[in-house]
Amino acid sequence: MGRNLFIRVSAATYDEDRMRAEWPCLCALAWPEESGGKDPALWRSAGGANLGIMDLAEVLPDRVVYGVLSGRTEGALPPLVRRLRECFLSLENALGDRDVALAGTLTNSLEEALDALEASLALRGTP
């Protein structure tokens, strides 16, 4: 790092359409206002960037526990949500530590956690 330039490793979603196709239930839970009639391609974060997988993984645990599914979190859902949160936090830490190898491994774990949660919600018919 220099005096004025900070080097950072980050994760970015390169295909938001694929994200929405792979995890439609999770996207609808994470951003219900966007899925209710607006074009999902227009989804943006507060800063104006497209919402991606890291945004999805960050918001979902609270949406599931305190939001949309707060009264219906029986069965396998709570452990899946905890796993998602752990994967997200571990990936953020690896990125912050500039550990590219670990971050690469953790992206797979994060996507697997999203897959498991999506499958569990799809079986429940949620949302």
Please write the tens of the pLDDT for every residue from 10-53: 888 888 889 989 999 888 888 776 555 454 444 555 555 678 99
* Domain residue ranges of the chain, discontinuous segments joined by +: 16-124
Average predicted confidence (pLDDT) for the chain: 80
What are the two backbone dihedrals, phi and then psi, of residue 39, each rounded to the nearest 5 degrees? Answer: -70, 115
Omega prior to 127 cis, within 30 of 0: yes
Residue 123 pLDDT > 80: no
Contact 20, 35 (CB under 8 A): no
pLDDT band at 122 (very low <50, low <70, confident <90, very high): confident
Q: Which pTM was predicted?
A: 0.80
Q: At what angle do helices 100-124 and 77-96 cross, to 10 degrees?
A: 160
Residue 119 pLDDT > 80: yes
Residue recorded with tokens 């979190």: 73
Strand partners, 44: 50
